[in-house]
């Protein structure tokens, strides 16, 4: 089954404690991206990757890092989480040169106290 898998699905942490949200896709997609979803603001892009070892900032990259060492994986790293990073996070992927349809994961709900 084609899917984007995120872990953890739910996480409560404290300010300053580094955490990583993993994302893996099994569709051999070149492009992967992270979004955050907040009430009243919709989905906003954090970072994206056009292929292995190629990453760049989206609209709201402050406080986040990413890496793309393998085609299937695209982890999101919060080096020193703060309460304003409390949000619902989605990883997504798509095939370049295709229909432009983004495939989304199930989401990771993060609470930073």
Q: Which of 4, 23, 60, 66 binds another protein (CB under 8 A)?
A: 4
Identify the CA nearest to 15 among candidates 74, 79, 71.
79
Provide the minimum distance between the beta carbon of 25 and another protein in the complex, in angstroms, as a whole number. 12
Site string for another protein, 33-72 (x = CB under 8 A): x------xxxxxx--x-x-----x-xx-------------
User: Which phi-psi region, left, alpha or beta, contains residue 83 (left: φ > 0; alpha: ψ -120 to 50)?
Assistant: alpha
Please count the CA atoms within 13 angstroms of the CA of 1 that sit on its side-chain side: 4
Instruction: Establish if 101 lies at the interface with another protein (CB under 8 A).
Output: yes
């Amino acid at each position: 089954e084609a899917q984007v898998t995120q872990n953890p699905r739910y996480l409560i942490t404290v300010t300053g404690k580094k955490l990583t949200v993993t994302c893996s896709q099994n569709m051999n997609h070149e492009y992967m991206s992270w979004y955050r979803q907040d009430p009243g603001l919709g989905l906003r892009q954090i970072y994206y990757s056009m292929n292995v070892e190629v990453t760049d900032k989206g609209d709201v990259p402050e406080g986040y890092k990413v890496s793309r060492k393998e085609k299937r994986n695209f982890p999101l790293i919060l080096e020193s989480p703060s309460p304003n990073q409390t949000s619902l996070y989605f990883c997504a992927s798509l095939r370049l040169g295709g229909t432009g349809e983004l495939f989304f994961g199930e989401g990771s709900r993060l609470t930073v106290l």
